[in-house]
Structure 1
Amino acid sequence: METEKHDGSGAAASRGGLAPRQTLFVGITLFSMFFGAGNLILPPLLGVQAGREVLPALVGFFVTGVGLPVLGIVAVALSGTLRELAARVHPLFSRFFVALVYLAIGPCLAIPRTASTAFEMLSPLLGDAVSPEVARLVFSVAFFALAYVLAMHPGRLTRLLGRFTGPALILLIVAVVGAALASLLGVDSLPDVAPVSPYDGSPAVQGFLTGYQTMDLLASLTFGIVIAENIRSLGVTESGGVMREVCRAGVIAGVLMMAVYGGLAAVGFELSAQLAGATNGAAVITASATSHFGLVGTVVVAAIFLLACLNVCIGLISCCGTYFAGELPRVSYRACAIAFAAFSCAVSNLGLDAILSFSATLLGILYPPAIVLVLMGMLRRVFGRAPAAWPLTVLVTVVVSAVTGLRDALAPSLALPLDLLPLSDVGLGWVLPALLTAALTVIVSGLCGPGRPRNQKGPIS
């Protein structure tokens, strides 16, 4: 190990690894990057709808909501950037796929969801005299106007909001989860509520599919290089050391996410009998806070969610605006930010339920190739010797997931030959074709001689 050197804060960091305190700091930073309001609304709804099957549903959710995002961080760190990882398929695919990822974590889903989630938390305070449609329109216009202004000059205000909303939101979660757990431990028997759709069939598989809607795997594909650069800035210069610290940060972030998700699922499970018809987790959290803390709980939940959602919205508008302004040289950052804010405002008025329904279709198409890319990136030494495996495997995955996803959205009663594939009845028909394509191309490449590696070297290889 190299001689120690000190960072600006006086903490010792070696070139081969970080001090334990710094490793913890990087892990918490990564957790904070993942942790948004959208992550709060899915586990409580899972707890309500899964009922007595909450544990297998939660395990499936952990795979896509925690495990795959952590692997995504590592896979991108190994490759260098998301564009370099996707370029192993084809440079044109790389540009198209990266743009889709930014659109999904931006104006198409995640940005509108911030306003819709914030409004859902405020709506119980409006009373029956106010029209929900009018209130939603007025709120969304004001919300995105403020977000746009702050995205132009985020500066100290967004840092202040981040420092305030992060700890406050964690304290709120601890309070609500603690009250729910105390209530569950104080009864003679746990709720025995039968699971409802969509968890009444295969709860573990449905939990896996629900994890798509966290969008954390897509977000992780843009986070890997950021975390690697932060680790280098702390003094770790050896590629092996950076890789180890990325993995450690991922483990810390993963443990924190599992704790939060498990606690929030318990909140929903406690109310599984009373809220059997719930359709979004925001209403579940509000109901739990209100039942345990009264009107004060409702007000605190609404205020903190508003600030948290606003902060996330500012960051996403800034991130997506910066990316597309760089991709479209004739379009300014300001123009991109205005366009994303206006489009997101319109989408948010569809309501949180509609956004979550639409996101299931889009993410059902986008997630399978993202999963394939991450897993192949983790096994890059194997697939580096079979460059044809990248385009062929991803192509097969995209075709199966896109065709079935569009069918499910536009003509759900239409029968397709792809329905005969194993696991197609649970939305995973792409798995076997992807596995067979990857295996066959690797075998053929081995029989025909080693292929020329495609983008084999990255900054952490």
Structure 2
Amino acid sequence: MTRSKLSLSSYIFVGSMLFGLFFGAGNLIFPVHMGQEAGTNIVPVVLGFLLTGVGLPFLGIIALGVSQCADLHELSSRVHPIYAIFLTVLLNLTIGPIFALPRLGSVSYEIGLSPFIAAPNKTLALFVFTLIFFSVALIFSLKPNKILLWVGKILNPLFLLFLAVLIITAFIDPMGSGITAPAQGAYASSPFFRGFTEGYNTMDALASLVFGVIVIDTLRELGLKSPRDITIGTLKAGIISLALMSAIYACLAYIGAFSTNKLAISANGGIALAQIAGYYLGTSGDILLAVIVTLACLKTSIGLITACSDIFHKMFPSLLSYKKYVYLFTIISFVISNVGLTAIINLAVPVLMFLYPLCITLILLSFLSPLFNHRQIVYVTTTIFTAIAACGDALSSMPAVIKSTGIVQYILSVYQSFIPFFHIGMGWTIPALIGFIIGCLLRTKGNSSQKITKAY
């Protein structure tokens, strides 16, 4: 059945599904820890965080609808086919089995079960927990056409219900009469930009270029067929998800900021969240938090396994079937999750600092494309200049053992000398703008063959 629009309840469920896909491990742990370190600078930090943690994912979802591209691979092919394979594979592995999926399993264990396990048994407990966790995610992922039901209508409403109990409790009885702790480190010197780059850790802007396909496919299954109707439907579902994410991020960050009146700043957000739940609800809080975190991570895991398996099957259909990709990515995620949460996060940061600028510029270019008549040269020059700067951001975020080497220190000194805003993790912005301007100037010398061949 073909429709031009859906009922309000349908848009709410699709928006709930999208929110559920996005809101996983990092979305819970990073805002709380960020709030603790932001202290009295909480407002500019949260605003910066919302731009990358909510605004960019929203634009990423809409970009696929506006561009009428089937997926990230098709969208990034506007730069070059080889680049499209490189970016799509690297991004999907990063938000899939290499970093994000293992982190989901690790966070569920660290917050939900680890506090109840004796130290000598923690390694075995992590193994057993992640084995069960990823087995459940695998079962749901084998039926991608049921994702609206499981995530949008069942798992996410349950998650929101349990999370609301903790948030409402914390707001009714805040830890102190105000935020008094001073901002720490970069949160004091450049709070907005620190919040901006902290939003990278959620990986949602990257995930939006993958989850957008699930939203579009779901809208088609519900009856929307024309590109215009799908774009409008994507926009409506995105707004619902954006509103939920913004409200919950702000609440978690403020709870974290207030918590420093009673608690010391934690090593990571998982510890902070556990301490806060324990403070308010005791043992019941530990159980509640275990349920919240497990639901959050499970629904996002289902989405990531489904999305990554689908795109790899489309790109390399002769290698494996969709179900075999599901098994492969689930097994890899299970193995890596046993490395431990802290190691996973430390290794993920440099890759994120490299990927985010490339994805941000691709999203922005998809909106600006009509202004430069969809010329490929603009995509190419913007991407090249962005990639050069993004390499510096990645090096700057490397673990100390790598960053402290002589050659890396020399390269970083060159970046710091010649690229504005490099010291705050925004060094890619000016090079990207220069690349865009050069591409726009060069496009006037091109002919119609240089225009992207997709019909607009």
Q: TM bucket by the smaller chain? A: 0.7 to 0.9
Q: Which residue of 1 aligns with 2:440?
A: 442
How much does 1:265 deviate?
Answer: 1.0
State the shift of 1:221 in Å.
0.9
CA contact (8 A) 1:180 1:270 kept: no
Moved more, 339-348 or 149-158: 149-158
SS at match of 2:97: coil
What pairs up with 1:325-404 in 2 under 5 angstroms? 325-326=313-314, 327=316, 329-333=318-322, 335-404=324-393
Moved more, 90-99 or 234-243: 234-243
1:100-179 correspondence runs (5 A): 100-123=90-113, 125-128=115-118, 130-148=120-138, 151-152=141-142, 163-179=153-169
Structure 1's 283 and 58: CA in aligned 2 closer, same or farther, altered over 3 A? Answer: same
**Which of 14, 31, 35 is equivalent to 1:26?**
14
Structure 2 letter corresponding to 1:419: Q
**Distance between the aligned counterparts of 1:135 and 1:197, measured in 2?**
35
Out of 153-162 and 164-173, give the one that drifted further. 153-162
Note if 1:405 corresponds to 2:402.
no
> Take 1:253 and 1:86, find their aligned partners in 2: how far apart are those partners?
25
The reply on whether 1:455 has 2:443 as its aligned counterpart is no
Alignment CA distance shift 1:394-1:28 (3 Å): same
Match of 2:416 among 402, 416, 419: 419
Instruction: Write the deviation string for residues 206-265 of structure 1: whole angstroms up to 9, x where unpaired.
Output: 111111111111111123344334444444454434333322322222111101111111
CA distance in 2 between partners of 1:150 and 1:192 (Å): 45
| Alignment partner of 1:282 out of 261, 266, 270 | 270
Identity percentage of aligned residues:
32
Q: Which residue of 2 aligns with 1:3?
A: none
Q: Is the 8 A contact 2:377 2:439 kept in 1?
A: yes
Q: Per-residue CA shift, 1:64-115, capped at 9, x if unaligned?
A: 1111111111111122122221011001111221111211121111110111
Instruction: Give me the whole-angstrom Cα distance separating, in 2, the residues matched to 1:232 and 1:313.
Output: 23
Question: Which whole-Å CA distance do the structure 1 matches of 2:305 and 2:227 have between them?
Answer: 32
Residue 442 of structure 1: how far off its partner (Å):
0.6
SS of residue matched to 1:429: coil
Q: Does 1:75 align with 2:80?
A: no
Q: Which residue does the alignment assign to 1:4?
A: none
Given candidates 166, 169, 191, the residue that maps to 2:179 is: 191
Distance 1:42 1:125 in 2: 19
Structure with the largest fraction of helix: 2
Deviations 1:132-188 (A, max 9, x none): 33432343344334544554578989955875432221112211111222223x85x
Equivalent residues of 1:71, 1:374 under 8 A apart: yes
CA gap 1:412/1:397 in 2 versus in 1, 3 angstroms: farther
* Corresponding residue SS for 1:196: coil
Structure 1, gaps ≥5 residues long: 1-6, 8-12
Across the two proteins, how many residue pairs are aligned to each other? Answer: 444
Structure 1 residue identity aligned to 2:57:
P
Label 1:133 to 1:198 Cα distance change in 2 as closer, same or farther (>3 A). farther
Query: Which AA in structure 2 matches 1:260?
Result: I
Distance across 2 between alignment mates of 1:382 and 1:158: 36
Distance (Å, rounded) in 1 between the aligned partners of 2:368 and 2:9: 31
Give, in whole Å, the separation in 2 of the partners of 1:302 and 1:385: 48
Relative distance call for 1:145 and 1:31 in structure 2 (3 A) is closer
Q: Is the 8 A contact 1:181 1:266 kept in 2?
A: no
Change (3 A) 1:332 1:266: same
Deviates more, 1:66-75 or 1:339-348: 339-348
Letter in 2 for 1:336: Y
2:89 alignment counterpart: 99
Contact 1:116/1:349 (<8 A) preserved: yes
Distance 2:358 2:169 in 1: 40
* 1:89 has 2:79 as partner: yes
Q: Secondary structure at the match of 2:78?
A: coil
> 2:206 aligned with 1:218, yes or no?
yes
Aligned to 2:25: 37
Question: What SS is found at the alignment partner of 1:190?
Answer: coil
Please tell me the residue identity of whatever aligns with 1:180. A
Shift of 1:203: 1.5
Unaligned runs of 5+ in 2: none
Structure 1 SS opposite 2:178: coil
